[in-house]
Structure 1
Amino acid sequence: MQCSYFDAARCRSCTLMGQPYAAQLAGKERHCRDLLADHRDIAWLPPVASRESGYRNKAKMVVAGTVDAPTLGILDRDGRGVDLRACGLCTPGLQAVLPTLAAFVTRARLTPYDVPRRRGELKYLLVTESPDGELMLRFVLRSEEPLGRLRKHLPALRRELPQLRVVSVNLQPEHKAVLEGEREIVLTEQATLPMRVNGIALHLRPQSFFQTNTDVAAALYRQGREWVEELAPASVWDLYCGVGGFALHAAAGGRDVLGIETSREAVASGRLSAREAGLDRVRFEAGDATAFALGAQAPPELVIVNPPRRGIGPELSGWLEAAPVRHVVYSSCNAASLARDLAAIPSLRPLRARVLDMFPQTSHYEVMVLLERA
């Protein structure tokens, strides 16, 4: 992939830019194998490749510049905006709408937030595209001051972009490096964006997490479903379940599936998806994964974990080591924390592993491991 922003040193976020893609993928698998080298009996499945460009389903754009000449992209070291609206990692659908959104900033007089001076209102535009080409648009504002103007001009924006399904405002009043605040104001009649993956509609709400690469996320969930169906457990927990991707894919064969997630927005999304699909044996509950496991009376036959980059940590690792859980499917976005967690659960032996390239042009990747109690 060739990137004019990278070549001009305007953006260096993609640390592997310019390397042949085959070499990127091979390097990621080699890195993962090295980190898990203590587990010599792992059967490594072929890595899952991605498109080299146009794969990002979400654009997180810092808004800077002026109200008449806004930039959408990142900030340089001095806090000035660097416009990246033609970023080649974003899907063509996202690239196509960014100029229209920049014009809307001007029309609605949404003053970009000036980080050095701590002035202005609009901090970010967060745009997500579904596999069906529909959009969720979120305005991250410092206060409610621009809300009236935004509401006034929103109908015209929706006429220009009929694919807009969900539009919301997130309020982040603090001056700190936090992407969004706790309060969300939905401005449309629709509150969820259906992300159709492998025939399952995963409902995404404004403050819910979804994998950045839809095609590779689909492969991730298919792999999880394949392992679960092969093992045919009667009961499954999906810890750190998000909007329920793994849980909903594991719902077959009459098994009971329970998803646990701290985000109440994500739990509501999972429940809606299960209800629409008629999956009455799939449940979702809000709570901390570790606290839930430690307090549960009876463990399931199989546990799926998909933690953040820090991993599952010593407490949950200790519970898995001691509990009579037969199998674990571990999906990790950080092979270093995965290796630490595996060292803490020696009774669960890694059988198979697979690298999935969720983030081409960067050093990041996803890896899935199937564990069996020895």
Structure 2
Amino acid sequence: MRCNVQKLCGGCSLLAVPSLKQAQQKREQVTDLMKSAGLDVKVEPVMMAASAIGYRNKVIVGFAKDKQKKIYSGLYAPKSHKVIDTKGCAMHPALLNEIIDFITETVASMKYELYNERTGTGILRHVLLRWAKETDEVMVVLVTSSKQLPGRRNLVNALVSRFPQVKTVIQNINPRDTSVVLQDESIVLYGNGMITDNLCGLKISFTASAFYQIHHDQCEKLYGLARDLLQLTPEDKVLDTYCGVGTIGLTLASSCKEVTGVEINKDAVKNAIYNARQNGIRNARFVAMDSTQFMMEARKFHTAFDAIVLDPPRAGTTEAFIEAACGLKPKKILYISCDPRTQARDLIKFKRFGYYTDTIYPVDMFPNTEHIETVCLLTYRGIKKGKYSSKKPEAGGRPARPVKGHGVPGSARGVKPGRRPAKGRHR
């Protein structure tokens, strides 16, 4: 498959590469990274996707004008704020492409002034779309520089009349000079501000800013792998950090005694609580708190967990998080990463507290791109004497109290535009 703007956009850099060769390249990439970090681990074959196109359930487009002053929409060129006309993008579901085209035409007919980053003038900045694959529900978020949006009722009516799949429309107000797309203030123009998908047999509802894996089918494979690796028992207590809307913890709830999810984003925690209730899950609770701080408090009050799960942003986690997690002395730590570079860095730090892994499992969450998701299970094997601690582990095969480290608590996930430089997840 070919794309006319592939080199300009950069969103599907491996589109012309056969899938088996992509798998080989990505496996080699992870293997090289782990070797460079001095980690003696086996990298399993890549868990490939059955569907490599039309999978992105979240799309953010910007707007610009061509030489004829005609408005077009598209993704951003790599490391720039230049909008590339990506009409009909193969990575987007056909429905989302149709909605983008409709909004672009409507915006042009309503003569909206496009936001100008240099002057700070104009109204329309971005449009964000989210899609629930199993239910076909769509969320539309209009990102504007102010609350003023002339004719927004007409725009919404036209949109939902043309596309009954659109279940909610939101206006997000972003007056700041920033590359972060969404800000805190939003107005629900239609619906209830959420859409609902079916994932791993559960109903999962989420809002505009909440984290939800970009590839539905690969996400189900990923969570199935996580469950298989953890091998939970009915007596196990699980701590799901960076839990978002609760997807991982809720899929594990039927396999263990209880799940505690921790997430700093309060809106995401509300989603998680709602998701637990709508699925009748009673052994899961969710806390709006920084994960590192929560674990420090848990250790202070002698709260124990058998397994800890972390799925941090692209930047990985912090040394403070790692120290706090190991200080709780779990039997197992499951680390899901969307960037094997930062995962390798963090695995070195986990080793200092006696937690090791033998195997890395790559999951192709982002087909036709250079990105890869990686998963590993860490278990406690003891702290090497001399460098960090000579104290023997406590009874039960759990680590002794580790030496104190440095670092700052993890931060909430940001939402950034499709092809701009981002510190957060690649979504």
Q: What amino acid maps onto 1:128 in structure 2?
A: R
Q: Residue 9 of structure 2 contacts residue 76 of structure 2 at CA under 8 Å; is this kept in 1?
A: no
Q: Give yes or no for the alignment of 1:224 onto 2:219.
A: no
Q: Which runs of 5+ in 1 are unaligned?
A: none
Q: Tell me which of 174, 194, 197 is aligned to 1:195.
A: 197
Q: Give yes or no for the alignment of 1:137 onto 2:135.
A: no
Q: Which runs of 5+ in 2 are unaligned?
A: 382-427
**1:270-285 equivalence runs, <5 A:** 270-285=272-287
Report the equivalent of 1:213. Answer: 215
Report the equivalent of 1:240. Answer: 242
Report the equivalent of 2:23. Answer: 25
Mean Cα displacement is larger for which, 215-224 or 229-238?
229-238
Q: Residue 233 of structure 2 contacts residue 255 of structure 2 at CA under 8 Å; is this kept in 1?
A: no
Mean Cα displacement is larger for which, 314-323 or 250-259?
314-323
- Structure 1 CA distance for aligned equivalents of residues 234 and 20 of structure 2: 35
Q: Residue 26 of structure 2 contacts residue 46 of structure 2 at CA under 8 Å; is this kept in 1?
A: no
- Structure 1 CA distance for aligned equivalents of residues 332 and 284 of structure 2: 19
Q: Tell me which of 290, 296, 301 is aligned to 1:288.
A: 290
Q: What amino acid maps onto 1:71 in structure 2?
A: Y
Report Cα offsets for 1:86-140 as digits up to 9, x if no partner: 1111112212222111122134443221334432111101011111211000000
Q: Residue 352 of structure 1 contacts residue 371 of structure 1 at CA under 8 Å; is this kept in 2?
A: no
Report the equivalent of 1:61. Answer: 61
SS of 1:368's equivalent in the other structure is strand
Q: What amino acid maps onto 1:216 in structure 2?
A: Q
Q: What amino acid maps onto 2:329 in structure 1?
A: P
SS of 1:210's equivalent in the other structure is coil
Mean Cα displacement is larger for which, 340-349 or 278-287?
340-349
Report Cα offsets for 1:13-35 as digits up to 9, x if no partner: 43334222222221111121222
Q: Residue 193 of structure 1 contacts residue 205 of structure 1 at CA under 8 Å; is this kept in 2?
A: yes
Q: Percent identity?
A: 25
Q: Residue 57 of structure 1 contacts residue 90 of structure 1 at CA under 8 Å; is this kept in 2?
A: yes
Mean Cα displacement is larger for which, 296-305 or 93-102?
93-102
Q: Residue 39 of structure 1 contacts residue 350 of structure 1 at CA under 8 Å; is this kept in 2?
A: no
- Structure 1 CA distance for aligned equivalents of residues 2 and 316 of structure 2: 34
TM-score for the superposition, normalised by structure 2: 0.81
Report Cα offsets for 1:235-272 as digits up to 9, x if no partner: 00100011111101110145110111111111111111
- Structure 2 CA distance for aligned equivalents of residues 278 and 231 of structure 1: 20
Report the equivalent of 1:71. Answer: 72
Q: Give yes or no for the alignment of 1:315 onto 2:320.
A: yes
- Structure 2 CA distance for aligned equivalents of residues 326 and 336 of structure 1: 25
**1:1-374 equivalence runs, <5 A:** 1-6=1-6, 9-37=7-35, 38-40=38-40, 42=42, 44-50=43-49, 51-65=51-65, 69-75=70-76, 81-131=83-133, 132-146=135-149, 148-230=150-232, 234-296=236-298, 297=301, 298-346=303-351, 347-374=354-381
SS of 2:23's equivalent in the other structure is helix
SS of 1:118's equivalent in the other structure is coil
Report the equivalent of 2:415. Answer: none
Q: Residue 146 of structure 2 contacts residue 173 of structure 2 at CA under 8 Å; is this kept in 1?
A: yes
SS of 2:356's equivalent in the other structure is strand
Mean Cα displacement is larger for which, 125-134 or 189-198?
189-198
1:233, distance to aligned residue in structure 2 (A): 5.3
Q: What amino acid maps onto 1:345 in structure 2?
A: F
- Identify if the C-alpha distance between structure 1 residues 64 and 224 changes in structure 2 by more than 3 Å, giving closer, same or farther: same
- Structure 2 CA distance for aligned equivalents of residues 271 and 215 of structure 1: 24
SS of 1:319's equivalent in the other structure is helix
Q: Residue 23 of structure 2 contacts residue 45 of structure 2 at CA under 8 Å; is this kept in 1?
A: no
- Structure 2 CA distance for aligned equivalents of residues 304 and 79 of structure 1: 35
Q: Residue 65 of structure 1 contacts residue 80 of structure 1 at CA under 8 Å; is this kept in 2?
A: no
SS of 2:9's equivalent in the other structure is coil
Q: Residue 301 of structure 1 contacts residue 326 of structure 1 at CA under 8 Å; is this kept in 2?
A: yes
1:224, distance to aligned residue in structure 2 (A): 1.5
1:232, distance to aligned residue in structure 2 (A): 5.3
SS of 2:190's equivalent in the other structure is coil
- Structure 1 CA distance for aligned equivalents of residues 9 and 231 of structure 2: 44
